[in-house]
Every structure is written in C-alpha cells, then in structure tokens.
Amino acid sequence: MPLLSLQGVSRDFDVSRPWLNRVLEHEPRRLLRAVDHVSLDIEKGETVGLVGESGCGKSTVARLIVGLYAPSEGRVEFRGRRLQMIFQDPYASLNPRWRVRDIVAEPIRFLGTAGKVQELLAQVGLSADDGDKYPHEFSGGQRQRISIARALAGEPDFLVCDEPTSALDVSVQAQILNLMSELQRRLGLTYLFISHNLAVVSQVADRVGVMYLGRIVELAPAAQLFSRPRHPYTRMLLDAVPDLAMSGRPRTPVRGEVPNPLAPPAGCTFHPRCPHADDRCRREVPAFSDGVACHAVAEGRIATAIEAARLE
C-alpha cells in the first residue's frame, strides 16, 4: 500500500469576472484547471520529485496533498501518521514577532514541549540558545532550518517540500539538501520534493514526475528520466538546462512558451511546441500509460534508442 495516493485529482479555480460584469456583458463563468487528472502513488521512505515550469500546477498539487485546497475531482488518500509542509520562502513563513522556540513548538504546543524544542533544533544543526532569538537574526539558510525543525515537531512521516531551496544561495542550498537527506535516513521520512530546478531534483529524488499545464506527462525513476527522457517536453526541459560541464553536447533549441492555461490548446497541450506533433496530437488528449502521456512515444514515432545513445 502506498503511503499517499492521488487518484485522478483535479482542481479548478474560478477566475470569472465579477457577477455584475458577467450579467451585463453576457460572459460565462471561467474556470482555470490548475491540476488535471493527476494520479500518483508515493511509497513509504521514497522521495518523489515533481518538476515543471511556473504555472504547471506543481504547487497546487502540494496544496491539495496537505489539504490547503480541496480537490474538485478525484481523491487524495494518505495512510500515514501525519504530514507537514516546508515552504519556499523562509522569510514569509516564519512569524517575525515570535521567538524561534515558540515557532518550533507551535505544532505541539498542547503536548508539553520543554525538552523537545532543544532536540528539534539540534536535529537541524542549530544550537539551543537559538531558541531565544527572533527570525530576523538568522540568515536564509538558518531560517529554512527553523522551518524544517517546525515541520518535524509533530513527528510527521511525510513531508511536502515546495521549492525548499529556491530562495537560497547554492552553497547554502547544498547544506539544506544534505540535511534533508540525513533526516530522511535517520527518521525514515517520505518526501514529495517540488522544484523547478532539474539538477536539484536529480540530486534528491528516487522517482520524478514532470508536469506540463496541470498534467503529469512523464513519471519515471530518476536515473532513467534524466538519462533516457521519453516525453518531448522532458527532453526539451533537459536540453534547456545550462551545460555546466561545458561538454558541448548537441542540443535542440527550445521553442515557444507555455500557453495561456485559460485557453489550453486542444489535444495534447504540448503540441504547439512539439517537434513530433501530428494530427492526432492536435485532436486527442494522450492517455497516461506506462509512465508517459504522449502519442508519439506510444506509436513508436520517437526513436528512444537513438536518443539514448546520443545522450550517453
């Protein structure tokens, strides 16, 4: 039994104009589908990464899982003890008027917390004296440690991390990523790790889902996804990542932009940017099967073997 499963989860947001405008100008209601039939199982102890560009719905998935949004369709099933969330911005997610001690103790304030806070702070590499300070006395990296300590207070077994290192400098990011993997090993945590940064996800994730306009278009073990991407969008994303090794490997230039989610293209929503699109792609939404949602892959029109050779 997976620890968490999403079954055909969708979420709509009402972005209609005000009632009076709608009535006077005969406008219909407008719904924006931020997440569209996402199904995903997460097993105990693993880290699932979710990548995609802004507006692809990855943060909405995080909020659906922790219950900050209710799904418009589908079910979210959690079979663990408790889940917690770590947010991107450690400046916005800590109350500036509270001492660190109180911030960390907030989730367990009815349980008698005296000794526990020190232990939690030690666990994330902060000292016991830090509990008396206020958030502004800390750097971004230390604040993110405080957020992690707070998230761990209720002894969760599942953590949803929404871009936890995106606001941090790279050297500090390395500290936080190392800390998170240590905690996972020590406490047997399960992570959903959301990021726009493919390299960060490749560092932490066991399996990776790629989202585009509200749908998961590819889901595969990390090693496989990054060495043999199958969906054309995954390939495009990987080709867009700056080549730090300066290997000069051949890459296809990126085309176009993410379309307006209020008026997504018919058929496969990626077809306007896809080099392999044909008539069927323009008409018919590809079903997600065998780890990928793409007509061209299903029909064998994309030669994965050749591509794999090229990448290695």
Partner 1 sequence: MTLEVRDLRVEFPTRRGTLTALDGISIAIAPGEVLGVVGESGAGKSITGLAIIGLLEPPGRIAAGEVRLEGQRIDNLPPGEMRKLRGRKIGVIFQDPLTSLNPLYTIGRQLEETIVAHLPMAKRAARDRALALLGEVGIPAPAARYRHYPHQFSGGMRQRVVIALALAAEPRLLIADEPTTALDVSIQAQIIALLKRLAAERGAAVMLITHDMGVIAETAHRVAVMYAGRIVEVGGVREVIHAPKHPYTVGLMGSIPRIAAKRSRLVQIDGAMPRLNAIPPGCAFHPRCTRRFERCLHERPDLLPAGASRAACWLHAAA
DSSP 58: H
Structure tokens at 122: 């030690």
Question: Among residue numbers 253 through 292, which ones bind partner 1 (CB under 8 A)?
Answer: 253-254, 257-258
Q: Examine residue 102 and tell whether it contacts partner 1 (CB under 8 A).
A: no
Beta strands in the chain (DSSP E): 4-14, 31-42, 47-51, 73-78, 83-86, 158-162, 190-195, 207-212, 215-221
- Answer for which of 27, 119, 243, 278 binds partner 1 (CB under 8 A) is 243
Stretch that binds partner 1, among 27-35, 96-104, 137-145, 286-294 (CB under 8 A): 137-145
Strand partners, 76: 6
Question: Among residue numbers 187 through 206, which ones bind partner 1 (CB under 8 A)?
Answer: 196-200, 202-203
- Answer for which of 92, 114, 246, 303 binds partner 1 (CB under 8 A) is 246
Distance between CA atoms of residues 38 and 161, nearest Å: 18
> With respect to partner 1, which residue has the nearer C-beta, 192 or 225?
225
Q: Examine residue 308 and tell whether it contacts partner 1 (CB under 8 A).
A: no
DSSP string, 220-269: EEHHHHHHS--SHHHHHHHHHS--TT------PPP-S-PPPTTSPPSSST
- Answer for which of 24, 92, 170, 263 binds partner 1 (CB under 8 A) is 170
Question: Among residue numbers 56 through 85, which ones bind partner 1 (CB under 8 A)?
Answer: none
> With respect to partner 1, which residue has the nearer C-beta, 43 or 239?
239
Q: Examine residue 226 and tell whether it contacts partner 1 (CB under 8 A).
A: yes
- Answer for which of 32, 108, 172, 308 binds partner 1 (CB under 8 A) is 172
**Max CA-CA distance within the chain?**
65
49: which residues sit within 8 A by CB, 6+ positions away?
193, 194, 195, 201, 202, 204, 205, 207, 208, 209, 222
Stretch that binds partner 1, among 24-32, 79-87, 164-172, 274-282 (CB under 8 A): 164-172
Residue 301 and residue 230 in contact, taking contact as beta carbons nearer than 8 Å:
no
Instruction: List the alpha helices (DSSP H) in 154-207.
Output: 170-187, 198-204
> With respect to partner 1, which residue has the nearer C-beta, 21 or 260?
260
Q: Examine residue 180 and tell whether it contacts partner 1 (CB under 8 A).
A: no
Enumerate binding residues for partner 1 (CB under 8 A): 53-54, 139-142, 169-175, 177-178, 181, 196-200, 202-203, 222-223, 226, 236-246, 253-254, 257-258
